[in-house]
Protein backbone atom coordinates (compact mmCIF):
# COMPACT_ATOMS: atom_id res chain seq x y z
CA UNK A 1 0.00 0.00 0.00
CA UNK A 2 1.39 3.40 -1.00
CA UNK A 3 1.89 5.81 1.88
CA UNK A 4 0.42 9.34 1.58
CA UNK A 5 3.87 10.93 1.39
CA UNK A 6 4.92 8.66 -1.45
CA UNK A 7 1.66 9.33 -3.24
CA UNK A 8 2.16 13.07 -2.84
CA UNK A 9 5.70 12.85 -4.17
CA UNK A 10 4.49 10.82 -7.14
CA UNK A 11 1.78 13.39 -7.90
CA UNK A 12 4.26 16.26 -7.75
CA UNK A 13 6.67 14.38 -10.00
CA UNK A 14 3.90 13.63 -12.49
CA UNK A 15 2.88 17.29 -12.47
CA UNK A 16 6.47 18.40 -13.08
CA UNK A 17 6.87 15.96 -15.97
CA UNK A 18 3.57 17.11 -17.48
CA UNK A 19 4.56 20.76 -17.21
CA UNK A 20 7.93 20.08 -18.80
CA UNK A 21 6.46 18.02 -21.62
CA UNK A 22 3.81 20.66 -22.45
CA UNK A 23 6.09 23.71 -22.34
CA UNK A 24 7.67 22.97 -25.71
CA UNK A 25 4.33 22.56 -27.56
CA UNK A 26 3.09 25.82 -25.99
CA UNK A 27 6.26 27.59 -27.11
CA UNK A 28 5.95 26.12 -30.61
CA UNK A 29 2.39 27.42 -30.80
CA UNK A 30 3.52 30.94 -29.99
CA UNK A 31 6.39 30.80 -32.45
CA UNK A 32 4.03 29.63 -35.18
CA UNK A 33 1.42 32.30 -34.46
CA UNK A 34 4.08 35.04 -34.59
CA UNK A 35 5.96 33.64 -37.57
CA UNK A 36 5.15 36.78 -39.59
CA UNK A 37 4.95 39.52 -36.97
CA UNK A 38 8.19 38.78 -35.12
CA UNK A 39 10.44 38.63 -38.23
CA UNK A 40 8.91 41.90 -39.44
CA UNK A 41 9.62 43.60 -36.10
CA UNK A 42 13.17 42.26 -35.96
CA UNK A 43 13.99 43.16 -39.56
CA UNK A 44 12.42 46.62 -39.29
CA UNK A 45 14.29 47.53 -36.09
CA UNK A 46 17.55 46.11 -37.44
CA UNK A 47 17.15 47.97 -40.73
CA UNK A 48 16.43 51.24 -38.94
CA UNK A 49 19.53 50.79 -36.78
CA UNK A 50 21.66 49.98 -39.84
CA UNK A 51 20.45 52.99 -41.83
CA UNK A 52 20.99 55.25 -38.83
CA UNK A 53 24.50 53.92 -38.21
CA UNK A 54 25.38 54.66 -41.83
CA UNK A 55 23.60 57.99 -42.30
CA UNK A 56 24.19 59.77 -38.98
CA UNK A 57 28.03 59.80 -38.98
CA UNK A 58 28.05 60.77 -42.67
CA UNK A 59 25.90 63.84 -41.97
CA UNK A 60 27.98 65.30 -39.14
CA UNK A 61 30.65 67.04 -41.21
CA UNK A 62 34.16 67.82 -40.03
CA UNK A 63 35.30 67.25 -36.42
CA UNK A 64 34.95 70.98 -35.68
CA UNK A 65 31.43 71.06 -37.11
CA UNK A 66 30.54 67.94 -35.15
CA UNK A 67 31.74 69.49 -31.89
CA UNK A 68 29.71 72.65 -32.54
CA UNK A 69 26.62 70.63 -33.42
CA UNK A 70 26.84 68.51 -30.25
CA UNK A 71 27.30 71.66 -28.11
CA UNK A 72 24.15 73.16 -29.64
CA UNK A 73 22.28 69.89 -28.99
CA UNK A 74 23.41 69.78 -25.35
CA UNK A 75 21.98 73.27 -24.91
CA UNK A 76 18.67 72.49 -26.61
CA UNK A 77 16.18 70.72 -24.29
CA UNK A 78 13.77 70.11 -27.17
CA UNK A 79 16.28 67.94 -29.01
CA UNK A 80 17.30 66.22 -25.80
CA UNK A 81 13.69 65.24 -25.09
CA UNK A 82 13.24 63.74 -28.55
CA UNK A 83 16.61 62.02 -28.83
CA UNK A 84 18.40 61.26 -25.58
CA UNK A 85 21.56 61.92 -23.60
CA UNK A 86 24.64 63.04 -25.62
CA UNK A 87 27.89 61.43 -24.49
CA UNK A 88 30.59 62.69 -26.80
CA UNK A 89 31.23 63.09 -30.51
CA UNK A 90 32.39 59.65 -31.64
CA UNK A 91 30.36 57.94 -34.36
CA UNK A 92 28.98 55.33 -32.00
CA UNK A 93 28.13 57.83 -29.25
CA UNK A 94 26.20 60.07 -31.64
CA UNK A 95 24.30 57.13 -33.17
CA UNK A 96 23.37 55.81 -29.74
CA UNK A 97 22.19 59.27 -28.67
CA UNK A 98 20.13 59.75 -31.83
CA UNK A 99 18.29 56.44 -32.04
CA UNK A 100 18.32 54.47 -28.80
CA UNK A 101 15.33 56.09 -27.06
CA UNK A 102 13.10 55.65 -30.11
CA UNK A 103 14.27 52.08 -30.71
CA UNK A 104 13.54 51.37 -27.04
CA UNK A 105 9.97 52.70 -27.37
CA UNK A 106 9.34 50.55 -30.45
CA UNK A 107 10.81 47.50 -28.71
CA UNK A 108 8.73 48.17 -25.58
CA UNK A 109 5.49 48.35 -27.57
CA UNK A 110 6.42 45.18 -29.44
CA UNK A 111 6.92 43.33 -26.14
CA UNK A 112 3.73 44.60 -24.48
CA UNK A 113 1.62 43.71 -27.53
CA UNK A 114 3.20 40.24 -27.60
CA UNK A 115 2.51 39.68 -23.89
CA UNK A 116 -1.15 40.74 -24.12
CA UNK A 117 -1.73 38.79 -27.35
CA UNK A 118 -0.63 35.52 -25.73
CA UNK A 119 -2.31 36.06 -22.34
CA UNK A 120 -5.37 38.27 -21.97
CA UNK A 121 -6.43 37.92 -25.60
CA UNK A 122 -6.33 34.12 -25.20
CA UNK A 123 -8.65 34.37 -22.20
CA UNK A 124 -11.06 36.58 -24.13
CA UNK A 125 -11.42 34.01 -26.90
CA UNK A 126 -11.76 31.10 -24.45
CA UNK A 127 -8.68 29.26 -25.71
CA UNK A 128 -6.80 29.58 -22.43
CA UNK A 129 -9.62 27.80 -20.58
CA UNK A 130 -9.36 24.86 -22.98
CA UNK A 131 -5.59 24.70 -22.57
CA UNK A 132 -5.93 24.99 -18.79
CA UNK A 133 -8.00 21.80 -18.78
CA UNK A 134 -5.08 19.86 -20.29
CA UNK A 135 -1.89 18.77 -18.51
CA UNK A 136 -0.46 22.18 -19.45
CA UNK A 137 -2.48 23.71 -16.58
CA UNK A 138 -2.70 27.50 -16.20
CA UNK A 139 0.93 28.39 -15.52
CA UNK A 140 2.69 26.66 -18.41
CA UNK A 141 1.20 28.95 -21.11
CA UNK A 142 2.35 31.97 -19.10
CA UNK A 143 5.85 30.52 -18.77
CA UNK A 144 5.85 29.78 -22.52
CA UNK A 145 4.91 33.40 -23.20
CA UNK A 146 7.79 34.59 -21.00
CA UNK A 147 10.27 32.33 -22.82
CA UNK A 148 8.87 33.42 -26.18
CA UNK A 149 9.14 37.12 -25.25
CA UNK A 150 12.71 36.71 -24.00
CA UNK A 151 13.69 34.98 -27.26
CA UNK A 152 12.14 37.79 -29.31
CA UNK A 153 13.88 40.43 -27.17
CA UNK A 154 17.21 38.67 -27.69
CA UNK A 155 16.59 38.51 -31.44
CA UNK A 156 15.97 42.26 -31.53
CA UNK A 157 19.12 42.93 -29.52
CA UNK A 158 21.21 40.71 -31.79
CA UNK A 159 19.72 42.24 -34.95
CA UNK A 160 20.42 45.81 -33.81
CA UNK A 161 23.89 44.97 -32.47
CA UNK A 162 24.91 43.18 -35.67
CA UNK A 163 23.45 45.96 -37.81
CA UNK A 164 25.38 48.81 -36.17
CA UNK A 165 28.56 46.70 -36.05
CA UNK A 166 28.16 45.96 -39.76
CA UNK A 167 28.02 49.72 -40.36
CA UNK A 168 31.52 49.99 -38.93
CA UNK A 169 30.85 50.97 -35.32
CA UNK A 170 32.77 49.56 -32.35
CA UNK A 171 31.77 45.89 -31.76
CA UNK A 172 31.81 46.22 -27.95
CA UNK A 173 29.56 49.25 -28.07
CA UNK A 174 27.31 47.56 -30.62
CA UNK A 175 26.92 44.56 -28.31
CA UNK A 176 26.11 46.84 -25.36
CA UNK A 177 23.50 48.71 -27.41
CA UNK A 178 21.86 45.43 -28.38
CA UNK A 179 21.96 44.19 -24.78
CA UNK A 180 20.33 47.41 -23.55
CA UNK A 181 17.49 46.96 -26.03
CA UNK A 182 17.06 43.32 -25.00
CA UNK A 183 16.87 44.31 -21.33
CA UNK A 184 14.33 47.03 -22.09
CA UNK A 185 12.28 44.55 -24.13
CA UNK A 186 12.17 42.01 -21.29
CA UNK A 187 11.12 44.64 -18.72
CA UNK A 188 8.17 45.72 -20.86
CA UNK A 189 7.30 42.10 -21.53
CA UNK A 190 6.72 41.90 -17.79
CA UNK A 191 4.73 45.16 -17.90
CA UNK A 192 2.48 43.67 -20.59
CA UNK A 193 1.94 40.48 -18.60
CA UNK A 194 0.97 42.41 -15.45
CA UNK A 195 -1.33 44.67 -17.48
CA UNK A 196 -3.02 41.55 -18.85
CA UNK A 197 -3.68 40.39 -15.29
CA UNK A 198 -5.04 43.76 -14.19
CA UNK A 199 -7.41 44.54 -17.06
CA UNK A 200 -10.48 42.63 -18.19
CA UNK A 201 -9.96 43.02 -21.95
CA UNK A 202 -7.00 42.95 -24.28
CA UNK A 203 -7.85 46.49 -25.40
CA UNK A 204 -7.69 47.69 -21.81
CA UNK A 205 -4.44 45.80 -21.19
CA UNK A 206 -2.83 47.22 -24.34
CA UNK A 207 -4.05 50.68 -23.41
CA UNK A 208 -2.62 50.46 -19.90
CA UNK A 209 0.69 49.11 -21.19
CA UNK A 210 0.88 51.88 -23.81
CA UNK A 211 0.32 54.48 -21.10
CA UNK A 212 3.18 52.99 -19.05
CA UNK A 213 5.46 53.05 -22.10
CA UNK A 214 4.49 56.68 -22.71
CA UNK A 215 5.18 57.62 -19.10
CA UNK A 216 8.55 55.84 -19.24
CA UNK A 217 9.46 57.80 -22.37
CA UNK A 218 8.27 61.06 -20.78
CA UNK A 219 10.31 60.48 -17.61
CA UNK A 220 13.37 59.78 -19.73
CA UNK A 221 12.69 62.91 -21.78
CA UNK A 222 12.27 65.14 -18.72
CA UNK A 223 15.43 63.73 -17.18
CA UNK A 224 17.44 64.43 -20.32
CA UNK A 225 16.00 67.93 -20.80
CA UNK A 226 16.93 68.83 -17.22
CA UNK A 227 20.36 67.20 -17.32
CA UNK A 228 23.71 68.77 -16.41
CA UNK A 229 26.13 69.59 -19.28
CA UNK A 230 29.80 68.76 -18.96
CA UNK A 231 32.44 71.49 -18.78
CA UNK A 232 33.31 71.15 -22.48
CA UNK A 233 29.66 71.04 -23.54
CA UNK A 234 30.09 67.76 -25.44
CA UNK A 235 28.17 65.48 -23.08
CA UNK A 236 25.33 65.58 -20.60
CA UNK A 237 24.34 63.71 -17.44
CA UNK A 238 20.59 63.15 -17.18
CA UNK A 239 18.64 64.33 -14.14
CA UNK A 240 16.97 62.03 -11.60
CA UNK A 241 13.66 61.48 -13.49
CA UNK A 242 15.59 59.39 -15.99
CA UNK A 243 16.30 56.87 -13.21
CA UNK A 244 12.55 56.24 -12.90
CA UNK A 245 12.31 54.92 -16.46
CA UNK A 246 13.46 51.55 -17.85
CA UNK A 247 14.24 53.40 -21.08
CA UNK A 248 16.46 55.69 -19.04
CA UNK A 249 18.16 52.65 -17.51
CA UNK A 250 18.97 51.27 -20.94
CA UNK A 251 20.31 54.67 -21.97
CA UNK A 252 22.54 54.69 -18.88
CA UNK A 253 24.58 51.82 -20.30
CA UNK A 254 26.15 54.58 -22.42
CA UNK A 255 27.13 52.28 -25.23
CA UNK A 256 30.23 53.19 -27.24
CA UNK A 257 31.61 55.36 -24.40
CA UNK A 258 31.43 53.77 -20.95
CA UNK A 259 29.73 50.45 -21.89
CA UNK A 260 28.44 50.17 -18.31
CA UNK A 261 26.78 46.78 -17.56
CA UNK A 262 25.29 47.84 -14.19
CA UNK A 263 21.99 49.18 -15.67
CA UNK A 264 21.46 45.80 -17.34
CA UNK A 265 21.27 44.21 -13.89
CA UNK A 266 18.64 46.77 -12.92
CA UNK A 267 16.64 45.93 -16.06
CA UNK A 268 16.81 42.20 -15.35
CA UNK A 269 15.80 42.71 -11.71
CA UNK A 270 12.78 44.80 -12.74
CA UNK A 271 11.80 42.20 -15.33
CA UNK A 272 11.99 39.45 -12.71
CA UNK A 273 9.74 41.46 -10.39
CA UNK A 274 7.10 42.07 -13.09
CA UNK A 275 7.10 38.44 -14.21
CA UNK A 276 6.84 37.22 -10.61
CA UNK A 277 3.88 39.51 -9.99
CA UNK A 278 2.20 38.22 -13.16
CA UNK A 279 2.71 34.59 -12.10
CA UNK A 280 1.35 35.32 -8.62
CA UNK A 281 -1.75 37.06 -9.98
CA UNK A 282 -2.30 34.30 -12.54
CA UNK A 283 -2.28 31.65 -9.81
CA UNK A 284 -4.74 33.45 -7.52
CA UNK A 285 -7.49 34.78 -9.81
CA UNK A 286 -10.26 32.97 -11.64
CA UNK A 287 -9.92 32.26 -15.35
CA UNK A 288 -11.45 35.05 -17.39
CA UNK A 289 -11.52 37.50 -14.47
CA UNK A 290 -9.16 40.39 -13.77
CA UNK A 291 -7.67 42.13 -10.77
CA UNK A 292 -9.44 45.37 -11.69
CA UNK A 293 -13.00 44.13 -11.98
CA UNK A 294 -15.46 45.63 -14.42
CA UNK A 295 -18.11 47.84 -12.90
CA UNK A 296 -21.46 46.14 -12.52
CA UNK A 297 -23.83 47.09 -15.29
CA UNK A 298 -27.21 48.77 -14.90
CA UNK A 299 -30.39 46.75 -14.76
CA UNK A 300 -31.56 48.53 -17.90
CA UNK A 301 -29.50 49.98 -20.75
CA UNK A 302 -29.34 53.73 -21.22
CA UNK A 303 -31.12 55.09 -24.31
CA UNK A 304 -27.90 55.83 -26.17
CA UNK A 305 -26.98 52.14 -26.07
CA UNK A 306 -29.82 51.35 -28.46
CA UNK A 307 -27.58 52.07 -31.47
CA UNK A 308 -24.25 50.77 -32.72
CA UNK A 309 -22.53 54.11 -32.09
CA UNK A 310 -23.31 54.00 -28.37
CA UNK A 311 -22.32 50.35 -28.19
CA UNK A 312 -18.98 51.05 -29.90
CA UNK A 313 -18.28 53.89 -27.47
CA UNK A 314 -19.24 51.76 -24.47
CA UNK A 315 -16.82 49.04 -25.55
CA UNK A 316 -13.93 51.34 -26.36
CA UNK A 317 -13.94 54.20 -23.88
CA UNK A 318 -11.49 52.57 -21.39
CA UNK A 319 -8.82 52.17 -24.09
CA UNK A 320 -9.49 55.70 -25.37
CA UNK A 321 -9.15 56.99 -21.82
CA UNK A 322 -5.65 55.49 -21.66
CA UNK A 323 -4.61 57.37 -24.80
CA UNK A 324 -6.21 60.57 -23.48
CA UNK A 325 -4.26 60.35 -20.21
CA UNK A 326 -1.02 59.87 -22.16
CA UNK A 327 -1.84 62.89 -24.32
CA UNK A 328 -2.56 64.95 -21.20
CA UNK A 329 0.80 63.99 -19.69
CA UNK A 330 2.68 65.01 -22.82
CA UNK A 331 0.68 68.24 -23.01
CA UNK A 332 1.56 69.13 -19.43
CA UNK A 333 5.21 68.45 -20.18
CA UNK A 334 5.09 70.60 -23.31
CA UNK A 335 3.56 73.52 -21.42
CA UNK A 336 5.37 73.35 -18.11
CA UNK A 337 8.87 73.01 -19.57
CA UNK A 338 8.56 75.89 -22.04
CA UNK A 339 9.90 78.47 -19.61
CA UNK A 340 12.56 76.03 -18.45
CA UNK A 341 13.92 75.91 -22.00
CA UNK A 342 14.27 79.67 -22.09
CA UNK A 343 15.89 79.73 -18.65
CA UNK A 344 18.47 77.17 -19.73
CA UNK A 345 19.31 79.31 -22.73
CA UNK A 346 19.64 82.45 -20.62
CA UNK A 347 22.01 80.65 -18.28
CA UNK A 348 24.11 79.51 -21.25
CA UNK A 349 25.06 82.59 -23.33
CA UNK A 350 27.09 80.52 -25.78
CA UNK A 351 23.92 78.78 -26.96
CA UNK A 352 21.48 81.61 -26.46
CA UNK A 353 22.59 83.64 -29.46
CA UNK A 354 22.43 80.70 -31.86
CA UNK A 355 19.01 79.52 -30.72
CA UNK A 356 17.48 82.97 -30.57
CA UNK A 357 18.55 83.58 -34.16
CA UNK A 358 17.00 80.27 -35.16
CA UNK A 359 13.75 80.73 -33.29
CA UNK A 360 13.29 84.50 -33.49
CA UNK A 361 12.81 85.43 -29.82
CA UNK A 362 11.84 84.25 -26.36
CA UNK A 363 8.20 83.50 -27.13
CA UNK A 364 9.07 81.84 -30.42
CA UNK A 365 11.50 79.50 -28.67
CA UNK A 366 8.69 78.30 -26.39
CA UNK A 367 6.41 77.92 -29.43
CA UNK A 368 9.09 75.87 -31.22
CA UNK A 369 9.49 73.63 -28.16
CA UNK A 370 5.75 72.97 -27.78
CA UNK A 371 5.25 72.46 -31.52
CA UNK A 372 8.03 69.87 -31.53
CA UNK A 373 6.41 67.91 -28.71
CA UNK A 374 3.04 68.15 -30.40
CA UNK A 375 4.51 66.23 -33.32
CA UNK A 376 4.76 63.29 -30.88
CA UNK A 377 1.25 63.95 -29.58
CA UNK A 378 0.01 63.79 -33.19
CA UNK A 379 1.43 60.26 -33.42
CA UNK A 380 -0.37 59.31 -30.19
CA UNK A 381 -3.63 60.72 -31.57
CA UNK A 382 -3.24 58.77 -34.80
CA UNK A 383 -2.55 55.56 -32.85
CA UNK A 384 -5.67 56.06 -30.72
CA UNK A 385 -7.81 56.50 -33.84
CA UNK A 386 -6.33 53.45 -35.54
CA UNK A 387 -6.93 51.26 -32.48
CA UNK A 388 -10.54 52.45 -32.27
CA UNK A 389 -11.10 51.75 -35.96
CA UNK A 390 -9.56 48.29 -35.75
CA UNK A 391 -12.13 47.33 -33.14
CA UNK A 392 -14.50 47.01 -36.09
CA UNK A 393 -12.29 44.33 -37.64
CA UNK A 394 -11.99 42.52 -34.30
CA UNK A 395 -15.78 42.43 -34.00
CA UNK A 396 -15.97 40.96 -37.49
CA UNK A 397 -13.37 38.26 -36.81
CA UNK A 398 -15.04 37.32 -33.50
CA UNK A 399 -18.42 36.85 -35.20
CA UNK A 400 -20.26 39.52 -33.19
CA UNK A 401 -20.48 41.80 -36.23
CA UNK A 402 -22.64 39.20 -37.97
CA UNK A 403 -25.13 39.41 -35.10
CA UNK A 404 -25.22 43.22 -35.29
CA UNK A 405 -25.61 43.28 -39.06
CA UNK A 406 -28.47 40.78 -38.76
CA UNK A 407 -30.54 43.66 -37.36
CA UNK A 408 -31.56 46.84 -39.15
CA UNK A 409 -27.99 48.11 -38.86
CA UNK A 410 -26.44 48.62 -42.32
CA UNK A 411 -22.79 48.09 -43.17
CA UNK A 412 -22.13 51.71 -44.12
CA UNK A 413 -23.65 52.94 -40.87
CA UNK A 414 -21.57 50.37 -38.99
CA UNK A 415 -18.41 51.69 -40.68
CA UNK A 416 -19.29 55.33 -40.12
CA UNK A 417 -19.99 54.73 -36.44
CA UNK A 418 -16.49 53.34 -35.92
CA UNK A 419 -15.04 56.21 -37.95
CA UNK A 420 -16.81 58.62 -35.61
CA UNK A 421 -15.42 56.83 -32.55
CA UNK A 422 -11.92 56.98 -34.07
CA UNK A 423 -12.36 60.68 -34.81
CA UNK A 424 -13.59 61.28 -31.26
CA UNK A 425 -10.51 59.49 -29.88
CA UNK A 426 -8.20 61.70 -31.98
CA UNK A 427 -10.00 64.88 -30.96
CA UNK A 428 -9.98 63.94 -27.27
CA UNK A 429 -6.25 63.16 -27.26
CA UNK A 430 -5.41 66.44 -28.99
CA UNK A 431 -7.86 68.47 -26.90
CA UNK A 432 -6.55 67.18 -23.57
CA UNK A 433 -2.97 67.70 -24.73
CA UNK A 434 -3.81 71.29 -25.68
CA UNK A 435 -5.53 71.81 -22.32
CA UNK A 436 -2.52 70.41 -20.45
CA UNK A 437 -0.08 72.56 -22.42
CA UNK A 438 -2.25 75.67 -21.92
CA UNK A 439 -2.34 75.00 -18.19
CA UNK A 440 1.43 74.73 -18.07
CA UNK A 441 1.91 77.93 -20.09
CA UNK A 442 -0.12 80.16 -17.78
CA UNK A 443 3.07 81.30 -16.03
CA UNK A 444 4.82 82.19 -19.29
CA UNK A 445 5.25 85.68 -20.63
CA UNK A 446 2.35 86.65 -22.91
CA UNK A 447 0.33 83.53 -22.01
CA UNK A 448 -2.43 84.49 -24.45
CA UNK A 449 -0.08 84.32 -27.45
CA UNK A 450 1.45 81.10 -26.20
CA UNK A 451 -1.94 79.43 -25.77
CA UNK A 452 -2.99 80.48 -29.28
CA UNK A 453 0.20 78.87 -30.57
CA UNK A 454 -0.63 75.66 -28.68
CA UNK A 455 -4.13 75.61 -30.17
CA UNK A 456 -2.61 75.91 -33.63
CA UNK A 457 -0.09 73.16 -32.86
CA UNK A 458 -2.92 70.83 -31.83
CA UNK A 459 -5.03 71.67 -34.88
CA UNK A 460 -2.03 71.10 -37.15
CA UNK A 461 -1.80 67.44 -36.05
CA UNK A 462 -5.47 66.67 -36.79
CA UNK A 463 -5.40 66.20 -40.61
CA UNK A 464 -2.54 63.67 -40.62
CA UNK A 465 -4.14 61.63 -37.82
CA UNK A 466 -7.54 61.62 -39.55
CA UNK A 467 -5.93 60.61 -42.86
CA UNK A 468 -4.36 57.56 -41.20
CA UNK A 469 -7.71 56.77 -39.56
CA UNK A 470 -9.53 56.71 -42.90
CA UNK A 471 -6.72 54.72 -44.50
CA UNK A 472 -7.25 52.11 -41.78
CA UNK A 473 -10.97 52.07 -42.61
CA UNK A 474 -10.14 51.48 -46.27
CA UNK A 475 -7.78 48.60 -45.40
CA UNK A 476 -10.54 47.00 -43.32
CA UNK A 477 -12.94 47.34 -46.25
CA UNK A 478 -10.67 45.88 -48.95
CA UNK A 479 -8.09 43.74 -47.10
CA UNK A 480 -9.85 42.69 -43.89
CA UNK A 481 -7.59 39.78 -42.91
CA UNK A 482 -4.43 41.86 -43.33
CA UNK A 483 -5.84 45.14 -42.06
CA UNK A 484 -4.57 45.01 -38.47
CA UNK A 485 -0.94 44.36 -39.35
CA UNK A 486 -1.00 46.73 -42.33
CA UNK A 487 -2.59 49.56 -40.35
CA UNK A 488 0.04 49.49 -37.61
CA UNK A 489 2.74 49.00 -40.23
CA UNK A 490 1.58 52.11 -42.09
CA UNK A 491 1.70 54.13 -38.85
CA UNK A 492 5.23 52.94 -38.08
CA UNK A 493 6.35 53.70 -41.65
CA UNK A 494 4.74 57.16 -41.50
CA UNK A 495 6.56 57.94 -38.25
CA UNK A 496 9.89 56.67 -39.57
CA UNK A 497 9.63 58.62 -42.81
CA UNK A 498 8.17 61.76 -41.28
CA UNK A 499 10.18 61.98 -38.06
CA UNK A 500 13.46 60.35 -39.09
CA UNK A 501 13.63 60.93 -42.84
CA UNK A 502 16.13 63.77 -42.50
CA UNK A 503 18.16 61.84 -39.94
CA UNK A 504 18.47 58.89 -42.34
CA UNK A 505 19.12 61.12 -45.38
CA UNK A 506 16.17 59.57 -47.21
CA UNK A 507 15.11 61.03 -50.57
CA UNK A 508 12.56 63.82 -50.28
CA UNK A 509 9.99 61.98 -52.38
CA UNK A 510 10.14 59.09 -49.92
CA UNK A 511 9.72 61.40 -46.93
CA UNK A 512 6.75 63.02 -48.65
CA UNK A 513 4.86 59.71 -48.49
CA UNK A 514 4.33 60.30 -44.77
CA UNK A 515 1.38 62.46 -43.71
CA UNK A 516 3.52 63.79 -40.86
CA UNK A 517 5.87 65.37 -43.43
CA UNK A 518 3.04 67.67 -44.50
CA UNK A 519 1.86 68.74 -41.05
CA UNK A 520 1.96 72.58 -40.81
CA UNK A 521 4.87 73.90 -38.75
CA UNK A 522 3.08 76.49 -36.65
CA UNK A 523 6.35 77.78 -35.13
CA UNK A 524 7.25 79.29 -38.53
CA UNK A 525 6.59 82.97 -39.11
CA UNK A 526 4.13 82.11 -41.89
CA UNK A 527 2.86 78.51 -41.47
CA UNK A 528 1.88 76.69 -44.65
CA UNK A 529 -1.56 75.13 -44.10
CA UNK A 530 -1.95 73.78 -47.64
CA UNK A 531 -0.92 70.28 -46.52
CA UNK A 532 -3.68 70.27 -43.91
CA UNK A 533 -6.32 71.09 -46.52
CA UNK A 534 -5.35 68.48 -49.09
CA UNK A 535 -4.89 65.79 -46.39
CA UNK A 536 -8.40 66.57 -45.14
CA UNK A 537 -9.80 66.24 -48.66
CA UNK A 538 -7.94 62.96 -49.18
CA UNK A 539 -9.31 61.65 -45.87
CA UNK A 540 -12.87 62.32 -47.05
CA UNK A 541 -12.12 60.48 -50.31
CA UNK A 542 -10.68 57.45 -48.48
CA UNK A 543 -13.72 57.35 -46.19
CA UNK A 544 -15.98 57.26 -49.26
CA UNK A 545 -13.95 54.45 -50.83
CA UNK A 546 -14.09 52.51 -47.56
CA UNK A 547 -17.87 52.86 -47.44
CA UNK A 548 -18.10 51.54 -51.01
CA UNK A 549 -15.78 48.63 -50.28
CA UNK A 550 -17.48 47.53 -47.05
CA UNK A 551 -20.87 47.44 -48.79
CA UNK A 552 -19.68 45.13 -51.56
CA UNK A 553 -17.66 42.47 -49.76
CA UNK A 554 -18.67 39.50 -47.63
CA UNK A 555 -17.88 39.31 -43.93
CA UNK A 556 -14.42 37.82 -43.36
CA UNK A 557 -13.87 35.69 -40.23
| Model confidence band, residue 10 (pLDDT cutoffs 50, 70, 90) | very low
Of 535 and 79, the structure prediction assigns the larger pLDDT to 535
Burial of 489: CB neighbours in 10 Å, binned 0-12, 13-18, 19+: middle
What pLDDT, in 10s, does the model give residues 149-165? Answer: 999 999 999 999 999 99
Count of beta carbons in the 10 Å neighbourhood of residue 330: 25
Query: In terms of pLDDT, which residue wins out, 422 or 510?
Result: 422
d(CA 539, CA 533): 10
Average pLDDT across the chain, whole number: 83
Give strand pairing partners of 87.
Answer: 235
pLDDT digits (tens, 9 = 90+) for 42-81: 998 998 888 888 887 777 767 777 888 888 788 777 678 7
- Beta bridge partners of residue 229, listed in sequence order: 236
286-290 long-range CB contacts below 8 Å, 24 or more apart? 287/123, 287/128, 287/129, 287/132, 287/138, 288/123, 288/129, 289/200, 290/197, 290/198, 290/199, 290/200
How far is 540 from 224, CA to CA, in rounded Å?
Answer: 40
Say which DSSP state 239 is in: -
Q: pTM for this one? A: 0.79
User: Across-strand partners of 235?
Assistant: 87
Is the C-alpha dihedral spanning 507, 510, 512, 516 positive or negative? negative
Q: Using an 8 Å Cβ cutoff, are 245 and 219 in contact?
A: yes
Q: pLDDT by residue (tens digit) across 379-437?
A: 999 999 999 999 899 888 878 888 888 888 888 999 999 999 999 999 999 999 999 88
* Sequence-ordered alpha helix ranges (H) in 133-232: 139-166, 171-198, 202-225
What angle separates helix 202-225 from helix 308-336, to the nearest 10 degrees?
10
pLDDT category, 11, cuts 50, 70, 90?
A: very low
Which ranges of 285-361 does DSSP label H, i.e. alpha helix? Answer: 308-336, 338-346, 349-359
CA distance 109 to 96: 19
Q: Which of 55, 57, 38 is nearest to 159 (CA)?
A: 38
**For the ranges 83-92, 175-184, 224-233, 517-526, the one whose mean pLDDT is highest:** 175-184
| Residue 379 to residue 491: CA distance in whole angstroms | 8
How far is residue 314 from each of residues 56, 240, 301, 304, 391, measured CA to CA in Å? 46, 40, 11, 10, 12
Among residues 358, 409, 309, 310, which one has the least CA distance to residue 525? 358
User: Residues near 341 by Cβ (< 8 Å), separated by ≥ 6?
Assistant: 77, 78, 225, 365, 366, 369
Q: For residues 425 and 315, what is the distance between their CA atoms, to the nearest angstrom?
A: 13
Contact 103, 117 (CB under 8 A): no
Confidence of residue 340 (pLDDT cuts 50, 70, 90): low
- Give the alpha-carbon dihedral of 439, 441, 443, 444, to 10 degrees: -170
Cβ atoms of 108 and 216 closer than 8 Å: yes
What percent of the chain lies above the pLDDT cut of 70? 87
pLDDT at 145 over 80: yes
Question: Residue 148 above 90 pLDDT?
Answer: yes
Question: In this predicted structure, what is the pLDDT of residue 453?
Answer: 81
Predicted confidence (pLDDT) per residue in 450-471, tens digit: 788 888 888 999 999 999 999 9
CB distance 257 to 90 below 8 Å: yes
Q: How far is CA 118 from CA 20, 159, 193, 472, 484, in A?
A: 19, 23, 9, 24, 16
- 196, 290 contact by CB (below 8 A): no
Amino acid sequence: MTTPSVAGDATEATGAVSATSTLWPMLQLRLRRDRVQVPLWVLALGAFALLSAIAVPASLGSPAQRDELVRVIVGTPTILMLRGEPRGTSDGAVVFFQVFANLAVATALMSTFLAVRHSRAEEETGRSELIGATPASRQVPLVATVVHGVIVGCLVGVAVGVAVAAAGLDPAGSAMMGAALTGTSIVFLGVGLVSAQLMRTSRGANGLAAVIVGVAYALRAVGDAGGTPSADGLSLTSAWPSWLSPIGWGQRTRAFTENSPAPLLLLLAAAAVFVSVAVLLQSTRDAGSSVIAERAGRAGARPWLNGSLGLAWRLQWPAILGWVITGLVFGLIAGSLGETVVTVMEDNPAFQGVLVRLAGGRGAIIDLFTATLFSLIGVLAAASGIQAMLRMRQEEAAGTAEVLLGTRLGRIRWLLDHLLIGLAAILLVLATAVAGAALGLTRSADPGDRIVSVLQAGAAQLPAAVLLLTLTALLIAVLPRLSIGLSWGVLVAAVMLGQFGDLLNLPQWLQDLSPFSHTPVVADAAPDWSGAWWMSALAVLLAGLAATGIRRRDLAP
